[in-house]
Amino acid sequence: LEEQRTHISMLEKALSNAQERLAKREKVCDELTIAAERANHLQRLLHETLLDKQARDETHAQERVQWEMDMTQLKMQLNKDFSQNGSLKRLSRLAGDSGDETINRLKKTMYLKDERITHLERTVIELQRRLQEESDRKKCVLGALNENFDSKIKQYEDEQASKDRRITLVAEERVKLGEILDVSAKERDNDTAIGMHKMEEIRQKIQERKRKGRICATGGTSSGPFEQNILDSAALLSDISTPYGNRPAVSSGYHNLFNAEKRENSEVDSVWNV
């Protein structure tokens, strides 16, 4: 039973260690979940950036269309001015200079916007590349951890099932041992009660035969039947006391004790106590 208790305590300790390892794995999973949420947040930011870029592109396209319309109107106006008389030539030249300045200014604005759009496109591409690399790396890490975690969980479940089976077997053995001990205790109690009862009967028979022996001795009869009765009583007492231990000297002790014809009652009591 002590070895079984030690074995059960070892199993409980192993179970607690497995639970601690499982808690650590759950903590790692929580950290990876937080990282995945951060990646999702970055992906949302990238999506918003793409939407902003699309809106800027649409605005740029509208401005370009507006600029082309203005250029067309300006050219039409210039052609109309050129078709007028010579008195308007100076005005036409001034209008042409103003139109060239406007065109240059618009070209410069378009060039700056094109540069900004190109820079934004490069930034978006770089962000997409980094996000893809980060996502791939986290997917690999998560896949490896999930596989390891699944294998650990399966191993832990197998160990737990084996421990449960062992605990069940130990409990069954403990119950069987308890039943055996109970049966043995009951048998010992029954044997003790039966032995005490028989010993009491023998004691009464010895006292009765001794009393008869004293009567015979007082009447002058032979001591042969008395000795034979004493030997029979000693043999009977030896047979009864045999299950409680090997006592080879019981018959000889009673034989030596009752060889004399007369004994005092105190001597009988001392033999009974022995």
Taking 60 as the threshold, does the pLDDT of residue 226 lie above it? no
What is the rounded CA–CA span in Å between residue 107 and residue 70? 13
Kindly report, residue by residue over 47-100, the tens digit of the pLDDT.
888 888 888 888 888 888 888 887 788 777 777 665 655 544 555 555 555 556
Q: What's the rounded mean pLDDT across residues 128-134?
A: 84
Could you tell me the pLDDT band of residue 262, with boundaries at 50, 70 and 90? very low
What is the rounded CA–CA span in Å between residue 178 and residue 238? 33
**Whole-number average pLDDT of the chain:** 72
Query: Quick one: pLDDT at residue 89?
Result: 54
Query: Quick one: pLDDT at residue 233?
Result: 54
Q: How many CB atoms lie within 10 A of CB 234?
A: 22
Nearest alpha-carbon partner for 119 in 61, 56, 67, 58:
56
Kindly report, residue by residue over 175-216, the tens digit of the pLDDT.
888 788 888 788 888 888 888 888 888 888 888 888 887 776
Q: Does residue 145 contact residue 28 with C-beta atoms inside 8 Å? A: yes
Q: Torsion over CA of 58, 64, 69 and 70, rounded to 10 degrees?
A: 130
Taking 70 as the threshold, does the pLDDT of residue 44 lie above it? yes
Q: Does residue 1 contact residue 170 with C-beta atoms inside 8 Å? A: no
Query: Quick one: pLDDT at residue 273?
Result: 47
In the chain, CATH 1.10.287 sits at 2-183
What is the rounded CA–CA span in Å between residue 13 and residue 5? 12
**Higher pLDDT, residue 4 or 217:** 4
Nearest alpha-carbon partner for 210 in 230, 224, 182:
230
Q: What's the rounded mean pLDDT across residues 141-160?
A: 78
- Residues of the chain with pLDDT > 70, as a percent, come to 70
Q: Does residue 39 contact residue 135 with C-beta atoms inside 8 Å? A: yes
Q: Does residue 207 contact residue 233 with C-beta atoms inside 8 Å? A: no
Query: Quick one: pLDDT at residue 96?
Result: 55
Q: What's the rounded mean pLDDT across residues 19-32?
A: 86
Using the structure block, give the residue that is written with the tokens 């893809």. Answer: 132
Query: Quick one: pLDDT at residue 122?
Result: 84
Query: Quick one: pLDDT at residue 62?
Result: 85
What is the rounded CA–CA span in Å between residue 169 and residue 174? 8
What architecture is domain 2-183? Answer: Orthogonal Bundle (1.10)
Q: What's the rounded mean pLDDT across residues 124-139?
A: 83
DSSP assignment of the chain: -HHHHHHHHHHHHHHHHHHHHHHHHHHHHHHHHHHHHHHHHHHHHHHHHHHHHHHHHHHHHHHHHHHHHHHHHHHHHHHHHHTS-GGGHHHHHHHHHHHHHHHHHHHHHHHHHHHHHHHHHHHHHHHHHHHHHHHHHHHHHHHHHHHHHHHHHHHHHHHHHHHHHHHHHHHHHHHHHHHHHHHHHHHHHHHHHHHHHHHHHHHHHHHHHHHHHHHHHHTT--SHHHHHHHHHHHHHHHHHHGGG---TTHHHHHHHHTSSS---HHHHHHHHH-
**Higher pLDDT, residue 270 or 187:** 187
**Higher pLDDT, residue 168 or 79:** 168
What is the rounded CA–CA span in Å between residue 233 and residue 271? 13
